[in-house]
Structure 1
Amino acid sequence: MLGPVVFPAFEQAYVAVLDHVTNQFEFRNAPRGNESRECLGLSFQVADPRDRLAYLAARRVNPIFHYAEALWYLAGRNDLDMIAYYAPSNRSHSRDGVSIVGSAYGSRIFNPLGGDIVSPFDRVLNLLRTEPNSKRGVLQIFGRDELAVEDNSDVSCVVALHLLEREGHLHMVCYMRANDVDRGLVADVFSFTMIQEFAAIQLGLEVGTYTHHIGSAHIGERDFARAQRTLHEASERAQRPAFEVRAMPKDTTTDTIAEILRHEAALRTNVRQYPADEIVEMGFDPYWQQVLLMFEAKRQLVHCPADMVDDELMNALDPGLRWLMARRWPRRIAPFEAAP
């Protein structure tokens, strides 16, 4: 087979890639002191990019962070305050304590560059509207200037995202220079497939396949034990959970993203608190209600450290999200064992 291996959903791809790099690695090396196992030139394809979460208890996926990071990208932001609230480790990537440069992929996609007045994202969408089947819909992210910064700790891992309209579907191909298959891969595929879905909506197209190419696929030795636990769990269970996968609403626009982030900021700064019934009454599609419910849960986790997260809030979440969160924060969120 010449093309990438095709998986129905991301989780199966994740397990296969994790197993390959962990147990069939080509090299051991330690760039910048980080001991790792590595494979070169790895690729896979996901048939349903909306099925972008891995329901593996050992991996302890954080869906709150994944939605926050995807929205941070979609809004074209590079501010440290928002993303570090959900992932404090990002503070080590900032050179000025205020912004992120290399890893703020959305700022390079959704904002005009240089003296331009149109963003690369809008230019690509305009191209695909006027030239169906174009091969030129590339969103470049990695910049050659990044290598000119001495001891740069935040070089873009993504080279480019490639959008291709074919027979009424919008496909995406991602080119990575490097990818940590235990840590970064889970977050990257989640965010990039959300960008793909958002782009498909703007173009009035269905979501096509998502293809992921990695130059250096690696796993750090520090994560080897977790990877082994994850692989053991995947091999021992009878079947993969089949939680509902929601589609992004067809009326989603940049204004929608901005409005969701306005509420996110109020919750993140603890200016407001939103009970579950108030979120339902805001008028958002249930898809975005789920996101706000998670942001309220995060507010409680951060700003009410002695309390359990509100049961009414958790009961309003989709079963898959609640399943993940109960395993991520078992001491703060009531157990949820219902299997689909």
Structure 2
Amino acid sequence: MYVRADSLDDLLGKVYRQLLARGTRIEPTKGPAREIYGVLLKLSAPRLRLSRTESRGILFSCLGELLWILAGSNALDFIEHYISEYRKSSDDELTIHGAYGPRMFGKRPNDQLARVISALRSKPDSRQAVIQLFDRRDTLQYHSDIPCTCTMQFVIRDRRLQMLTYMRSNDAWLGLPHDVFAFTMIQELVARSLGVELGEYRHSVGSLHLYERDDKKAIRYLDEGWQPRRPMPPMPQGDPWPSVGRLLVFEEAVRNGDASAVDPRESMEPYWADLATLLAIYKAGKTTGNQNEIKRLKRRLTDEVYAMYINKRYGMVPSVKDQATLFDSGNDAPKAAA
């Protein structure tokens, strides 16, 4: 099956319709599901990576999981702060065996992403810029979690960075939105590192499935409809990794203490400061639920694309500025990938 779309919502809509209509019944370990085997998904505008719906607008967990990967961490307490379900995937209640971060960002010379960037700098037409996440040793003994993602390949064509991910298995309801967010953000980080534009994102899956327990959720999603498409803003030009490092330091401080009083705008470009502010908002909501504090932090945001996710999560009424932004969908075309 081949599915092409410009936005994540358009992609999810097509995927759920296909799975509900023609998915084959299977009985895997985690429960009955519908499956389509051998799927290629293409997202033409990777910055349209966030769902604009009530049910799949999951910005905070997506951002938390991305930073867990970028930190090279396998720590349960880190990811559990954002996604509590990960506890079920831990062998020792301390770590996650299948975590992508250590496999992608191991110590030199095993830092796979650094090697990908170096390879494409020296040979822009290279076909060897591949990251391997699934390892043969993952199946030699039992683990509660092994990587669903096998490989990621990056190529430069027409001065745009294209990316192809191959997954052995993908949960279309829980996993797919998180995976598309994290992997297209990594794609954009590599593109900025190389000084090329962002190209298309391709996502190849062996078993693409929808668990029976999520059938009704998927049906409600299809009936819901979604807001006008709004891409995330472009990542700033230039080397992104110093900014990533500052964001990771801020994330750790917020998660382990209270850095909400620290204004990230003093040390970060607006793009990165907005992501830092979202982390502070999430922490404030998780610890106190104080709407006045959340509103105070929200006023720091430069880009209003994030407002709907904050309003939805914390039951806030959209401001006049939010509403004006909501219906400004002039940036939703496929050129958003540029």
Structure 2-normalised TM-score?
0.89
**Equivalent pairs, count:** 322
- Paired letter, 1:154: D
Contact 1:80–1:98 under 8 Å retained in 2: yes
Question: In the TM superposition, what is the alpha-carbon distance from 1:108 to its structure 2 partner?
Answer: 0.8
Give the counterpart of 1:200 among 160, 173, 191: 191
Question: In the TM superposition, what is the alpha-carbon distance from 1:41 to its structure 2 partner?
Answer: 0.8
Q: Write out aligned runs for 1:166-245 (5 A).
A: 166-234=157-225, 240-245=227-232
Q: Write out aligned runs for 1:245-260 (5 A).
A: 245-260=232-247
Question: In the TM superposition, what is the alpha-carbon distance from 1:210 to its structure 2 partner?
Answer: 0.4
Q: 1:205 and 1:130 mapped to 2: Cα distance?
A: 14
Q: 2:38 and 2:66 mapped to 1: Cα distance?
A: 26
State the secondary structure of the residue aligned to 1:313.
helix
Give the counterpart of 2:284 among 297, 300, 305: 300
Query: Aligned in 2, Cα 1:253/1:335: closer, same or farther, shift over 3 Å?
Result: closer
Q: 2:202 and 2:120 mapped to 1: Cα distance?
A: 19
Question: In the TM superposition, what is the alpha-carbon distance from 1:334 to its structure 2 partner?
Answer: 4.1
**2:96 maps to which residue?**
100
Give the counterpart of 1:266 among 253, 258, 266: 253
Q: 1:249 and 1:209 mapped to 2: Cα distance?
A: 18
**2:50 maps to which residue?**
53
**2:136 maps to which residue?**
144
Contact 2:3–2:15 under 8 Å retained in 1: no
- Paired letter, 2:71: A
State the secondary structure of the residue aligned to 2:49.
coil
1:18-77 per-position Cα deviation (integer Å, ceiling 9, x unaligned): 22112221x212211411111111111111112110101133x22122112112212222
**1:80 maps to which residue?**
76
Query: Aligned in 2, Cα 1:119/1:45: closer, same or farther, shift over 3 Å?
Result: same
Question: In the TM superposition, what is the alpha-carbon distance from 1:214 to its structure 2 partner?
Answer: 0.8
**2:308 maps to which residue?**
323
Question: In the TM superposition, what is the alpha-carbon distance from 1:335 to its structure 2 partner?
Answer: 4.6
Give the counterpart of 1:120 among 106, 109, 112: 112
2:116 is aligned with 1:135: no
Q: 2:64 and 2:30 mapped to 1: Cα distance?
A: 30
Contact 1:64–1:294 under 8 Å retained in 2: yes
**2:58 maps to which residue?**
62
**1:21 maps to which residue?**
19
1:208-255 per-position Cα deviation (integer Å, ceiling 9, x unaligned): 110011100111111111111100112xx6xx4133530112234333
Give the counterpart of 2:270 among 270, 276, 286: 286
Q: 1:185 and 1:54 mapped to 2: Cα distance?
A: 11
State the secondary structure of the residue aligned to 1:274.
coil
Q: 2:206 and 2:17 mapped to 1: Cα distance?
A: 17
- Paired letter, 1:129: R
Question: In the TM superposition, what is the alpha-carbon distance from 1:98 to its structure 2 partner?
Answer: 1.7
Query: Aligned in 2, Cα 1:335/1:226: closer, same or farther, shift over 3 Å?
Result: farther
Structure 1-normalised TM-score?
0.88
State the secondary structure of the residue aligned to 2:184.
helix
Question: In the TM superposition, what is the alpha-carbon distance from 1:310 to its structure 2 partner?
Answer: 2.6
Query: Aligned in 2, Cα 1:329/1:224: closer, same or farther, shift over 3 Å?
Result: farther
State the secondary structure of the residue aligned to 2:216.
helix
Q: 2:178 and 2:257 mapped to 1: Cα distance?
A: 25
- Paired letter, 2:229: A
**2:67 maps to which residue?**
71
Q: 1:308 and 1:32 mapped to 2: Cα distance?
A: 45
Q: 2:239 and 2:65 mapped to 1: Cα distance?
A: 17
Q: 1:142 and 1:78 mapped to 2: Cα distance?
A: 15
Q: 1:41 and 1:142 mapped to 2: Cα distance?
A: 18
**2:156 maps to which residue?**
165
